[in-house]
Amino acid sequence: MTEGFPLRGKWNSDFFCNHQPIVTELGCGKGEYTIGLAETMPVKNYIGIDIKGARMWRGLKTAHEAGFRHVAFIRSHIELIEYFFGPCEIDEIWITFPDPQPKASKARKRLTSPLFLERYRHVLKEEHIIHLKTDDKGLFEYTMEVIATGNHQLLYHTTDLYQAGLKDAAAEIQTYYEKIWLEQGKPISYLRFRL
């Protein structure tokens, strides 16, 4: 793909006007994680992506009110990620509580499927990190299998994030629904890997 969105390959120079790493949250919903990351690590640029503009509006409004110049949102299907970003433009991807697509017939729609990982490969820098945070045991196990069969580099994993003692953004930032699941005693799984 040689053409695309006008900022493709130029997010740092033409939008953020800095050279900070770019972090994306895929399926960002209301942008809670995007905003949380921007608050805790302002030395990076953040872009939330979701197809539902009505939900994403909340994150955009919060970023605007806080004066965050290092936050942006894109309303789009994740399948079009290569349209919005150039080769080696993204440093990190966060996938937080995506639709697990539990039916086997929907496996290709899972945001950690080999099909999606191949799309991400084209826009990620060499030393990238992909994070997955989920309450769905099936999606977590599926992703572990994808990592193993694809010979990807598993950097960390746990099936109970808040019992693991991890002290970073994965444990420090919680979404609205995540807090509800934790109150119900539901464990949160987390992993990070590199293609």
Q: Which of 25, 28, 36, 20 minimizes the C-alpha distance to 168?
A: 36
Which residue of the set 14, 99, 160, 168 is catalytic? 99
Q: Is 4's pLDDT higher than 90?
A: no
Neighbouring-strand partners of residue 137? none
Predicted confidence at residue 177, as pLDDT, reads 85
Spatial separation of the C-alpha atoms in residues 98 and 112, rounded to whole Å: 10
pLDDT at 2 over 80: no
Q: Mean per-residue pLDDT for 77-99?
A: 97
β 90-96/124-134 pair status: parallel
Type of residue at 18: N
Mean pLDDT computed over every residue of the chain: 95
Q: What sign has the CA pseudo-torsion 88, 92, 97, 100?
A: positive
Class at the top of the CATH hierarchy for domain 15-194: alpha beta
pLDDT digits (tens, 9 = 90+) for 110-151: 999 999 999 999 999 999 999 999 999 999 999 999 999 999
Q: What is the pLDDT of residues 150-180, one digit of tens each?
A: 999 999 999 999 999 999 999 999 988 899 8
In this prediction, what percent of the chain has a pLDDT beyond 70?
A: 99
Per-residue DSSP letters for 18-50?
S---EEEEET-TT-HHHHHHHHH-TTSEEEEEE
- Residue 50 falls in the annotated catalytic set: no
pLDDT at 176: 86
